[in-house]
Amino acid sequence: MATGEEKPLMVVGVDESEQSTYALEWTLDRFFAPYAPNFPFKLLIIHAKPNAVSAVGFAGPGIAEVVPHVDADLKHTAAKVVDKAKGICESKSVHDATMEVFEGDARNILCEVVDKHHASLLVVGSHGHGAIKRAVIGSVSDYCAHHAHCSVMIVKKPKMKL
């Protein structure tokens, strides 16, 4: 890489799931730790916090009383997700990762961040939902693979064999 040339940006989407933690650790182990301190990418870690009203999923009497509590819980969860991601990065000697939290649907947020920052690579974990559940609730990884304007790496945690 020539002097003064900007490093490509890698975006990693994180949530509170075990699969997300695995994807972040896997990515750091393969793309960052071996190259310390001369990482081949700049790292941007994104958490998409759901909107409280959409998380509640209903409208009607009493919603005004419920939404502030749900929103506080979602903010608390987002803070825990970011703290965990920071801890994982620090444990792998990656101290210059940028963390951001956005409110909205993770699928849209990740694709928008990729576009805004001209990312070279988007990394997401796979929850391993079956075809029916994926069709009903949607898959962040599937959506991003089809709509992100960069390469998408879907990291799947291996199933433990007994």
- 159 against 16, higher pLDDT: 16
Where is pLDDT greater, at 162 or 96?
96
Distance CA 121, CA 2 (A): 20
SS3 per-residue string spanning 18-30: HHHHHHHHHHHHH
Q: What is the CA radius of gyration of the chain?
A: 17
CB 10 within 8 A of CB 119: yes
Mean pLDDT for 43-49 is 97
Confidence of residue 1 (pLDDT cuts 50, 70, 90): very low
The CA-based angle 52-44-41, given to 5 degrees, is 160
Question: What is the DSSP secondary structure assignment for residue 139, as one 8-state letter?
Answer: -
Residue 49 DSSP one-character state: E
Half-sphere exposure of 135 (CA within 13 A, CB side): 3
| 133 Cα distance to chain centroid | 20
Q: Average of pLDDT values for 11-40? A: 94
Q: Which of 66-80, 83-97, 108-122, 142-156 has the lowest mean pLDDT?
A: 66-80
Whole-number Å distance between alpha carbons of 154 and 162: 25
The rounded percent of the chain whose pLDDT value lies above 90 is: 67
Q: Taking a C-beta distance cutoff of 8 angstroms, is the pair 40, 31 a contact?
A: yes
Task: Give the C-alpha separation, 108 to 111, whole Å.
Answer: 5
